[in-house]
Chains A and B, each alone.
Chain A
Amino acid sequence: MMITALLLIVQVAAQDPRLERLDPATRSLVVSVVDSAKAVGLPGEPLIQRALEGATKGALGPRIVTAVRRLATDLGTARAALGAGVTTPELEAGAAALRAGAGPDVLTHLRDARRPPLTMALAVLADLVASGVPADSASAVVLALAPSARDADLVEFRRAVERDISLGAPPGAAAAVRAANTGIRLGADAGNPPRPASRQ
């Protein structure tokens, strides 16, 4: 039954007409990555979209395959960190946060600290780092805000930091000042998120 299921998954990915935009060799490799990911319960759609992005942007086949493989790895790491029941949007945002430099333990701590959905919190973390805030500072502030901030508050925090950066503030300082406004201090232990109740 498992083999039948796997074969069905292979058929689905191989028949996706959107992937015909890739050359045959690249298509075959991408299909293989997508199928392997789906076989372990990861979503295939983000991987297909990454391949399509590469195709539209005229990227060479090997670069597309590398990008798809990298995303598949990140999705797997995000799933391991976030646990069962995680949704595809949460996985995508988690993968983005990992790619931005947050460690898997940060994702796990976030899962422990905040009611789902975690999508926006993870997205804000990824976006802060993408705008130049050091990963450990961004992780610390998002984890500190996580237990009580609404999604809208997190988004507003990110916008405020980005505004300050666009006006010339160093990214780390911008995050620290905005964090201080919310009563959070990013100090020497900024890289160490608060540990939840002992797990091991």
Chain B
Amino acid sequence: MFDRDDGALDRVIRQLRQPVSIDPALDARVMEEIAADAAPGRLATPRPRFPLRGARWPWLAAAAVLGAILIARPWSAGGDTDALNAFQFVLVAPQASSVSLVGDFNDWDPARSPMQTAQGIWATTVPLPPGRYRYAFLVNGVEWRADPGAPRAGDDEFGTPSSVITVGGKGS
């Protein structure tokens, strides 16, 4: 039996099934966005991190900044930094004899990112693709310290403090 309502609905469906042509320029926009992901030198502006916010010793803060600038050479970290952001990590620990940076970006291996020191200010630079990374400083091979200038990791799963850094940008 002819159902007029269904007939109208069938017309609707036929109408909606008509091919729709999208501007082919969309392809180029997609490829441009993707190619920017892979291009070297993207987001090349480093985001220096100054951890002495709220420090009680202004002179130490100034020294840390100067020391960080003298120590850190963000663009000499090697070819791997070409497509990545280079981040500087700094810890003021005048009494320490060794400080390592350990985190999700180096398999938590203390040997991978030993830090350099000048007058008790320890620093290193690490290239990081977009992502969220837990990390901490290992002082003298035994003491774990969070980064005073960074957000704390909410879950200290293993009873020691950790910090987090989130790197945004394309690919995140």
Contact = CB atoms under 8 A, between A and B. Distances in A.
Interface of A: 18, 46, 49-50, 52-57, 59, 63-64, 67, 70, 87-90, 92-93, 96, 99-100, 117, 119-120, 123, 126-127, 129-131, 151, 158, 162-163, 166-167
Chain B interface mostly helix, strand, loop or mixed? loop
B54 A167 contact: yes
A96 B53 contact: no
Interface residues of B, number: 31
A90 B170 CA distance: 12
Nearest to B138: A56
Contacts of A67: 157-158
A163 B54 CA distance: 8
A89 B172 contact: yes
Given A92-B132, A119-B166, A127 B151 contact: yes
A130 B132 contact: no
A50 B172 CA distance: 20
Going nearest first, the 9 A-B pairs with the smallest beta carbon separation are: A123-B166, A130-B154, A127-B151, A119-B172, A56-B108, A67-B157, A89-B131, A59-B158, A49-B104
B151 A119 contact: no
Interface in B119-172: 130-132, 134, 138, 144, 151-155, 157-160, 162, 164, 166-168, 170-172
A119 B168 CA distance: 7
B172 A57 contact: no
B107 A87 contact: no
A116 to B, nearest CB: 9
B157 A50 contact: yes
A76 B154 CA distance: 19
Contacts of B114: none
Given A89-B130, A130-B152, A131-B152, A54 B164 contact: no
B109 A96 contact: no
